[in-house]
Structure 1
């Protein structure tokens, strides 16, 4: 019998050596208690009886979060996150059973890369997400601000306030922003601060010409006089986030990226090959932990991964870097 509350507490002890056994346990639980996922698995002829490895597990296309209610178990959501999108676009919905668990996961991942939140001042340039509401990214940043330095704030419109804040003290600062907003802030003035971490969350949202990630980082490094740019990878349909401190993204131990063949979605590729990005996020215990994204990526031999772009026929997504 799967114990949901026990699994929530033990998720932080998951390591590479016990990842597969935990993933198979979650697969069985979600197969029997998530009607949408069960029907999808049955169409593929998959069940706990014949799924014995990570590669055997069916990965649910994220489009199902637009057309179906993807929930494991019966409960009332504390929050419903919605993906970004233009007017008239169908938006994904991720029903969140326990908002405090989502925030706990986000904080543990963030602090594993950047240290305790109270020692950091968070500066956020996320205008599009603030405008649309119901954003998982805004919920995460709100939580970070509540636990970080009291000077943490959102910045909109008048960038002079942001420039003043950047130069106000020598404490550790993190500027997190959607790509076009980070470019906007340096259109008039180049910025430089030794204690400033610049983190892009991707997305031009139609405001600027799209760039590949390396090109974007080159421009941002020049504009901010920075040696490198950090990145955050997350999406509405996930509970966990990946961060790229220098170059490649890293998930926490309870999440993993796998690369599927572009022409055969049920075949997985070895490290160094480009393909579609599948994600196992065991923190998605209340929705679906096995997702087929529309991102293109490759995995390194260390288990880290790169996001190279998107499939041509997929929607523009605000939380991912686009090509």
Structure 2
């Protein structure tokens, strides 16, 4: 079978040899992605010398802003996802070839189904016609979401929630939820039992700040949804897969085709339980770019599995969907 077919089977069935697939994908990207090849050569690692997925060089996330990290010519890419921007105006670009987009569709659908039941999906996010380069908007449209967005979004959501008779999944940025709560003041909505809430994080920025504990308390107070039915999504435009956590303090969990290392920012070695470090993700669904990405996000391993996200590294610029929502 070809590499894309093997990756698709791995994601659809949550089986397969991660190490072997990662090394094959690394060899493909090394051969066809010139900026990444130069980076790997500078690190002294090639497909001939790498023997384990942890030896694959993780490209810094900032490289997606400075280089075209694509294995096919840009003109042959059918989709380009951008980050939501930063306060400096820089955006990352994730180029999707046709094969990469097909794999991305498989990943986002399988990853979502891995964590959540099939319920009607409401999105407090801009739709793709408003945000054509947003991977999150693309994901939600693919999952069949009804988008509630715009100048009248608070009134529209108020009307929609008041008429709900069956459970749904309500998905939005942290700031979108905060803005709705501010716009509706002290109105409460008793959502149907079994309703789920998913927020995308990003609690700190240039508008009103709110901590996760306070936001989840508002979910219970204003929506009648217990913290156990509240989830957080962690993703990046540079990644084709997503992490999810449950409740206020739940660890971020990945699907089987996505692995993470937490690295000491000084030594570059793997941290131990309780020691914070920089997150590096290895995503088999990243076919056309690079599978290994060194982020600017800090995290620490959770004793129950997964990791706890600790925000941006000191000096990292503000970015992401919360900036877009703001």
TM tier, shorter chain?
0.7 to 0.9
Contact 1:130 1:138 in 2 (8 A): no
Give 1:105's match in structure 2, choosing from 107, 130, 141.
Answer: 107
Measure the CA separation in 1 of the matches of 2:322 and 2:301.
17
Contact 2:87 2:318 in 1 (8 A): no
Q: How many residues align?
A: 310
Contact 1:235 1:319 in 2 (8 A): no
In structure 2, the partner of 1:297 is 299
In structure 1, the partner of 2:253 is 250
In structure 2, the partner of 1:288 is 290
Q: 1:154 to 1:128 in 2, by over 3 A?
A: closer
1:178-201 deviation line (CA, Å, top 9, x unaligned): 111101212212333133211111
1:259-284 deviation line (CA, Å, top 9, x unaligned): 010222x3111333211111010100
Give 1:156's match in structure 2, choosing from 150, 161, 166.
Answer: 150
How far 1:70 moved relative to its partner? 0.5
More displaced 10-residue stretch of structure 1: 55-64 or 302-311: 302-311
In structure 2, the partner of 1:268 is 270
Measure the CA separation in 2 of the matches of 1:88 and 1:316.
9
Contact 1:186 1:224 in 2 (8 A): no
In structure 2, the partner of 1:52 is 51
- 1:110-189, aligned counterparts within 5 Å? 110-116=112-118, 120-127=119-126, 131-145=130-144, 152-158=146-152, 159-187=154-182, 188=185, 189=187
In structure 2, the partner of 1:95 is 95
List gaps (5 residues or longer) in structure 1.
none
SS at 1:256 equivalent? strand
Measure the CA separation in 1 of the matches of 2:20 and 2:49.
15
Measure the CA separation in 2 of the matches of 1:218 and 1:285.
39
Contact 2:104 2:240 in 1 (8 A): yes
In structure 1, the partner of 2:319 is 317
In structure 2, the partner of 1:20 is 19
Contact 1:234 1:319 in 2 (8 A): no
SS at 2:113 equivalent? helix
When normalised by structure 2's length, the TM-score is: 0.85
More displaced 10-residue stretch of structure 1: 269-278 or 154-163: 154-163
How far 1:64 moved relative to its partner? 0.5
Contact 1:249 1:306 in 2 (8 A): yes
SS at 1:191 equivalent? coil
Q: 1:107 to 1:297 in 2, by over 3 A?
A: same
Contact 1:262 1:276 in 2 (8 A): yes
How far 1:232 moved relative to its partner? 0.9
How far 1:132 moved relative to its partner? 4.6
Q: 1:33 to 1:302 in 2, by over 3 A?
A: farther
How far 1:206 moved relative to its partner? 4.1
List gaps (5 residues or longer) in structure 2.
none
Contact 2:252 2:306 in 1 (8 A): yes
In structure 1, the partner of 2:77 is 77
How far 1:176 moved relative to its partner? 0.8
In structure 1, the partner of 2:223 is 224
How far 1:168 moved relative to its partner? 1.7
More displaced 10-residue stretch of structure 1: 204-213 or 4-13: 204-213
In structure 1, the partner of 2:190 is 192
When normalised by structure 1's length, the TM-score is: 0.86
Measure the CA separation in 1 of the matches of 2:105 and 2:165.
28
More displaced 10-residue stretch of structure 1: 246-255 or 196-205: 196-205
Q: 1:174 to 1:156 in 2, by over 3 A?
A: farther
